[in-house]
Amino acid sequence: MNLDTQLRSYDLWKQSMAESIHAYQSWLDDASLSESEIELMLIKNLRLLEKDSITIAFAAEFSRGKTELINALFFSSAGIRLLPSSPGRTTMCPTEIFYDAKEAPYLRLLDIETRSSDKSIEDYKKEAKQWTHIELDCDSPEKMQDSFLELLKSKTVSAEHAKTLGLAGKDGEPEVTIPSWRHALISFPHPLLEKGLTVLDTPGLNALGSEPELTLSMLPNAQAMIFVLAADTGVTQSDMAMWEQYIQVYRSKHPHGLAVVLNKIDTLNDELMSDDDWVQSLHRQTLETARLLALDEQAIFPLSAKQALIAKIKGDEQALSMSRLSGLESFLSDRILSSQKEILQNKVIDEVLDSIELAHNSMTGRLQKLANHTNELNGFCNKSESVTAKLLLETRKEQTAYNKDIAYLKTSRNGFYTQITELLEVVNPERVSGIIDEGCEKMVKSWTIIGIRQGMKNSFEGLNSLLNETLDTTEASVKLLDAIYKRFKDEHKLDVEQAARFDIKVYQRRLDQVLQDGLEFCDSSEAVLTGQSALTKRFVDTIGEQAIAIFKEAQADVKRWKARGLSNLIREVNEHKIFMDSKLDSLRSVAVGHEELEKKVAKNKVSEASLRTQLETLQQICNEIKAPSLVVEQDVRGAVI
């Protein structure tokens, strides 16, 4: 399947997952198993499915045909060269292309002068009035094309002014040409974009080096990175600089998400070359590129974006085949979409399936208790009055002991909650912000690489100290939970599985990675360290925001642990108490007569049938979540046909 079909399949899969989660919500209500924490978890996962998007980032030096490749891959249906990519025309600012269903199609441009402020691009996205807004006429590709010419605009400023913006020119030049815009947002209703695709078009090496948010946040979060080279020049010095400073960092985090494109293969061919000579030439260039970049040859795609775009617009299948674009399309559809689906599976589906398993166990236990109760009721009919009295006395004693254990559970729960409150205070993002702000102030005042690096290390040492504070409290909480569960398991045979524990080591590793990214950025980007305090502060803020985000996730994880730590046991304890109360009530009913017992038995039979039906429904929901592929595949094939 091509990229368009694969994206449709992926979109249908997400819809199927959302429908199954909604069905599970209704099932929980019917089964009286719905809890606020479970409901919040399901709502969170529904939002993840709804907001999920796939970002494909394109990086290249100038004049490598990167924008032409974007046109060929995604926008040939416009029938023209939608994004400006003619010779001599280069996109000057990072550009995000997506679909915003809340507003009419638009092009928004952020003035380059905003680089002198402390605000990040993400902050500016929340203030639409700060952007130059251009409405797009989707009924006229030609008018859209004219609007997109704004992306090419530049202006000439003094070298001193460029320096205040963090844009350094060549030494000795009094004036510098800089982009007019810092960032661009394009929203229009293209079928691929509507399915959740976002395209990130980045300018050359200088732009990456001078915009830390782009390098430390936007690019690392992309599901795929396409690094574009020109086949006629091979790997140039500036290409290698970009590769070493930025692309390899992405590759280390997303080893399966990187593809290298050798564009403009049509320039290697001429009338004096045979087809075999041309193929051999491409092969040699591919091997040489693989050697220089230390890459597997399979990750390199020689193609002609220009030839592919023209072929798609004209409907020339032979020319499209000659362009070799299909190999890259297969990479994006097969590897990237499959990888994103796996990520979403781990984030959403596995958590829902865990909840379904617990619900299934609860219903199975409820059914077993009901069956046991029915057997006891049938047995009571044949017991003598003295035996029944003895059973009644034993059950009352058992109930009294159980009520004492319930009191113990309540006391222990309060102790657990107290420990969790202490834990939440340690990982409070406000404390983190204080440490970040203090470090930021010192780093902004520092005008040397060594000073900034040391200030960053000091800040992260403070953050790691916070995480280390949580270890003792976490261990104490784990021991308390273990003791509570063991008591009910040993004394009342309640075999209940504990929820996943809070693991601080996960966040320690992530914090270390953010620090490492920051230190590598210090080493690789001279522009950030030229002494411009606003630029340096934005860089520090980007790192700080990521650290704060990590602690927010840790805090949310602790809150989930607080809600789930005892929830399974409490639910089972309540179920068992209901069973014991029912057993006691049944023994008291023996004195009334067989007719009353028979009514209870009949009522239990109806309840058993209802429980079995609910279990069957739950199993159907579970099956739909685990294996929706058949229905999705049929829908996709029907749409294609």
In order of 44, 469, 501, the CA distances from 420 in angstroms are 22, 13, 12
Other Cβ atoms less than 10 A from the Cβ of 410: the count is 10
Q: Are 161 and 60 in contact (CB under 8 A)?
A: no
Question: What mean pLDDT comes out for the span 273-291?
Answer: 88
Residue 86 DSSP class: S
pLDDT of residue 534: 56
DSSP 101-146: TTS--EEEEEEGGGGGSS--HHHHHT-GGGEEEEE--TT-HHHHHH
Look at the pTM and tell me if it is higher than 0.75: no
What's the whole-number mean pLDDT along residues 51-58?
88
What are the Cα distances from residue 98, in Å, to 82, 261, 379, 493, 538? 14, 23, 69, 56, 25
pLDDT at position 175 over 60: yes
Q: Looking at residues 486-509, what average pLDDT do you find?
A: 81
Cβ pair 527, 210 in contact under 8 A: yes
pLDDT for residue 526:
46
For residue 529, what pLDDT is reported? 41
**Residue 166, pLDDT score:** 75
Domain ranges of the chain: 1-50+335-378+590-635, 53-323, 395-568
Here the tokens at position 289 are 């590129």
Question: Would you give the distance in Å from CA 227 to the centre of its chain?
Answer: 22
Angle between helices 504-524 and 449-492 (to 10 degrees): 170
Q: Which pLDDT tens digit goes with each residue over 123-173? A: 899 998 999 999 999 888 889 889 999 988 989 999 888 877 877 666 667
| Phi (first) and psi of residue 522, to 5 degrees | -60, -45
Please report, for residues 356, 378, 591, the alpha-carbon distance to residue 599 in angstroms, rounded to integers and kept in the order given: 33, 11, 14
Instruction: Quote the pLDDT of residue 372.
Output: 80
For residue 630, pLDDT beyond 60: no
Q: What's the CATH superfamily of 53-323?
A: P-loop containing nucleotide triphosphate hydrolases (3.40.50.300)
Residue 197 pLDDT? 86
Contacts of 56 (CB under 8 A, 6+ apart): 197, 198, 199, 200, 222, 223, 224, 225, 226, 332, 336
Residue 98 confidence (pLDDT) above 90: yes
| pLDDT band of 522, cuts 50, 70, 90 | low
pLDDT at 637 over 60: no
Tell me how far apart the alpha carbons of residues 554 and 594 are, in angstroms, rounded to a whole number.
58
Residue 533 identity: S
pLDDT of residue 381: 62
In the chain, what is the straight-line distance between the N-terminal and C-terminal CA atoms, in Å? 13
Who wins on pLDDT, 223 or 269? 223
Are 97 and 209 within 8 A, CB to CB?
no
Q: Is 236 helix (H, G, I), strand (E, B) or coil?
A: coil
